[in-house]
Structure 1
Amino acid sequence: MSVVAESRGTPRWGRLKLPPLPEPPATRSGRVLLAAQAAVLLAMTGTVATRTWQDHTWFGFLLMGLALALWVPEARQRRIRRWWFVYVAGIFVYTLLRAYADEAGAPIRITYPISFDRWLFFGTDPTLWLQRRFFDPRDIGLLDYLAVATHWSFFIAPHALAVGVFLLQRRQFPRFAVLMVGTMWLGLALFFLVPTAPPWFAGEIGQLAGVRRIMDYVGGSIHGSAYSSLYAALGEPNSVAAMPSIHMAVTFAMYLWGRRHLPRLAPVLLAYCGVMAVSLVYLGEHYVADLLAGIACASGAWLVADRLAPELSEPAMQPADTGSRLQS
């Protein structure tokens, strides 16, 4: 049965939700290019997870140049996959520049977030309060392991959500990429402007006596050398990038995304934000001030992504093009 136009009003075919047009079969050269593009993004990911980019800083910039050369052809195509370059390369460059944020000449700040947290909690420091009540360095407990696991889930959860958005909400993926990368880059700007020491750092130099870095105890109890290597790759060489908390910023950005696009998942993501916030403070990784700044960065990136990020869609079909596809 053919779908025909109605006598009055909008043609009936105009109200149908047509399936997207399939992309033409890739040529051999196209498949080779796609494989090379995917390989360079995987290389970036692997480089971030190792010390390669620290031991050979030139390699990171060379890899970025190669990625640009391979992905330039995608700029002319209306294919959403090009936003994977924005997502991966944006995080990769953020990681490279973060390593230099404490060398830009701005003085390292230590005391102002301590003062803010004490003002906010009526003279009590929340990190010190939590650790005195729940942490025993002689007896690493389940709470300690769960808090560290929550902290390290940051390196998996947002990327798992990125894959899910690309597979299930593909037209929205450009907006998601802008949200995540924008959140990190807003935080990066603050790393350069106000390099700030975390609570455990302040504890080590006597500014916040009694605060310990619980993650070191947990990592050492599991596998000391493996923990040291992984932390050196992901946490160093900048130990004073606490303001804002990127962990909190990205986690809250995930919640903002879920509230709009995944409403059934939003309560879970909000609970994840709460658990992440408490874990970061308890572990001595961040002040509450850092968390609030991270939430502000995520909110700012959300406004930009919501208003400015392009939403790609299939080209509109003309009536004359639909006849052969609307037969039943």
Structure 2
Amino acid sequence: MSVAAETAAYRRWGPLRIPPLPDPPSTLSGRLLLGGQAALLLAMTLSVATRTWQDHIWFGLLLIGATAIAWLPELRHRRLRTWWFVYVAGIFVYTLLRAFADETDIPVRVGYPIAFDRWLFLGTDPTVWLQRQLFDPREIGLADYLAVATHWSFFITPHAVAIGVFLLQRRHFPRFAVLVVGTMWLGLVLFFIVPTAPPWFAGEIGQLAGVRRIMDYVGGSIHGSAYSSLYAALGEPNSVAAMPSIHMAVTFALYLWARRHLPRLAGWFLAYTAVMALALVYLGEHYVADLIVGMACALAAWAIALKVAPELSEPVTQPADRG
């Protein structure tokens, strides 16, 4: 099917058919609009990285409103770049709401993931075991630095993949956006329903004796003030959002994506998922239970993405003409 035929089918049969490529803005007003839209998405990104929205919640709400208004023309015309609004604004709203997930009347849970992990590993707690084998608070080792680097790669890798998909597999970008944002939002629902403390928190209150937050040791050994600033921006808004692990969920979602759209790289994404899982448990950031539920969220979001965001390359089935 030609691009023209695919576009005609999209216009005829509704919003689930994505136009192949956005029309470039050919007028000055079009270029100015595109620049304003991009600037607002960038402002959202910088607001998260600099903690601006946390100090001034009104600024975050203002950004959401202004960005939605600026992108209304794209929503009407259904241009492909609209999905950047879905991707960036979806993650931004997720970040804002995540900060309030621990401020409900639902008590923070500590014990149930500990019990599950011990049941799964026949009485052994994997975080306690790994830290006893590998971690020495008096001497930060290579494994500690590598584990923290893996953990923090989460804040770069999905977005780098998003840019790559948009540049190299543009027709598939809507599905990628739905997958990543959907995974995060499914996790967000559980943050509100079952607020759960991570292993390092359980260690601090005596529920997991000897468990430490290794990331604090590594961050302090590199640059204490810089680490504190980054953690304040990305972690402090809700430090007890352990169930599910969004790190694991999104990383596994990338593997699901690669299995279908980047099969030659699927093995690498699977290895990255395995290393991320080991790092999260070792660092005391997540239980194995958190990882399992995170992967379940990714699978559910993938099923949704396959349903609501088909690509143009898939054949369009037209109903028989009525006489």
Give TM-score scaled by structure 2 length. Answer: 0.90
Instruction: Report how far residue 77 of structure 1 moved.
Output: 1.5
Partner of 1:150: 150
Deviations 1:58-82, CA, capped at 9 Å, x for gaps = 1000000000010001012232101
User: What's the secondary structure of 1:150's corresponding residue?
Assistant: helix
Alpha-carbon distance in 2 for matches of 1:236, 1:141: 26
Partner of 2:216: 216
Give runs of ≥4 in structure 1 deviating > 6 Å. Answer: none
Question: What code does the residue aligned with 2:179 have?
Answer: L
Contact 2:21 2:170 in 1 (8 A): no
Partner of 2:187: 187
Matches within 5 A, 1:95-174: 95-174=95-174
Alpha-carbon distance in 2 for matches of 1:255, 1:283: 22
Question: What code does the residue aligned with 2:77 have?
Answer: Q
Alpha-carbon distance in 2 for matches of 1:137, 1:97: 35
Alpha-carbon distance in 1 for matches of 2:89, 2:22: 27
Alpha-carbon distance in 1 for matches of 2:122, 2:105: 34
Partner of 1:322: none
Alpha-carbon distance in 1 for matches of 2:47, 2:26: 29
Alpha-carbon distance in 2 for matches of 1:174, 1:21: 12
1:46 equivalent to 2:46? Answer: yes
Alpha-carbon distance in 2 for matches of 1:173, 1:134: 40
Contact 1:44 1:89 in 2 (8 A): yes
Give the gaps of 5 or more residues in structure 1.
1-9, 15-19, 317-328
Deviations 1:305-327, CA, capped at 9 Å, x for gaps = 011224357xx9xxxxxxxxxxx
Contact 1:48 1:92 in 2 (8 A): yes
Question: What code does the residue aligned with 1:44 have?
Answer: M
Change (3 A) 1:242 1:24: closer
Deviations 1:167-221, CA, capped at 9 Å, x for gaps = 1111110000000000000000000000000000000000111000000000000
Contact 1:174 1:312 in 2 (8 A): no
Larger Cα Rg: Structure 1 or Structure 2?
Answer: 1
Give TM-score scaled by structure 1 length. Answer: 0.88
Deviations 1:30-85, CA, capped at 9 Å, x for gaps = 00000000000000000111111111011000000000010001012232101000
Matches within 5 A, 1:204-283: 204-283=204-283
User: What's the secondary structure of 2:67's corresponding residue?
Assistant: helix
Give the gaps of 5 or more residues in structure 2.
6-19, 317-323
Alpha-carbon distance in 1 for matches of 2:48, 2:97: 12
Partner of 2:297: 297
Contact 2:22 2:81 in 1 (8 A): no
Question: What code does the residue aligned with 2:37 have?
Answer: Q
Alpha-carbon distance in 1 for matches of 2:103, 2:21: 51
Alpha-carbon distance in 1 for matches of 2:225, 2:266: 37
Alpha-carbon distance in 2 for matches of 1:131, 1:271: 22
Contact 1:110 1:197 in 2 (8 A): yes
Q: Percent identity?
A: 78
Alpha-carbon distance in 1 for matches of 2:207, 2:68: 45
Structure 1 range deviating more: 91-100 or 232-241: 232-241
Contact 1:255 1:266 in 2 (8 A): yes
User: What's the secondary structure of 1:102's corresponding residue?
Assistant: coil
Partner of 1:86: 86
**CA RMSD for the aligned pairs?**
1.7
